[in-house]
Amino acid sequence: MLKERHFSLVRYVTISLLLLSFSLSAQAGSSDLVGMLTDQLGISKEQAAGSSGAIFDYAKQNLSADDFATVAEGVPDMDGLLAAAPAAESDSALGKASSMLGGSGGSLGGLASLASSFESLGLDADMVQKVVPIVTDYIGNVSGDQAMALLQGLF
């Protein structure tokens, strides 16, 4: 009888720990990205979440629903990151940002469209060029090479 209770308790604790570890690993995904950005670039958590959210929002607007789902597949808190993205600015702000980044067209168009979002987070427009590679590398690790290629194709 005592062995049965002990076995039941051990089984309960083991299952509880497994569930907790799955929950924590799911929450860690987006915080890993935020942590990478804060560590590598010295920006705040809010700036990291907002800037990565702005990149993902841009991807959501410019990729097909299926392609964006491929990108978002490995990011556990995509909705939270998208919510952290600042609202898009007007076309005149985009024109100013485009000229700050050296013109428009090609990949600079995508970078320029993010510059105003970054500025509203207190980040210089040149931070776009620093954040994008970190985010695309992260996507490659969590969602795969195809997802990384889709995201890189926007920039």
Helix-then-strand count for the chain, H and E: 8, 0
Alpha carbons within 13 A on the beta-carbon side of 104: 11
Q: Residue 105's pLDDT is what?
A: 44
How many other β-carbons are positioned within 10 Å of the β-carbon of residue 88? Answer: 17
Q: Residue 72's pLDDT is what?
A: 96
Residue where the block lists tokens 């702000």: 93
Whole-Å CA distances, 61 to 26, 29, 88, 135: 25, 22, 11, 17
Residue type at position 8 = S
Q: Residue 102's pLDDT is what?
A: 46
pLDDT (tens place) for every residue of the chain, 155 residues total: 656 765 554 454 445 443 333 333 334 445 799 999 999 999 999 999 999 999 999 999 999 999 999 999 999 899 999 999 998 655 444 444 444 444 444 456 667 779 999 999 999 999 999 999 999 999 999 999 999 999 999 98
Residues in the chain: 155
- Record the pTM: 0.71
Report d(CA 113, CA 155) in Å as an integer. Answer: 10
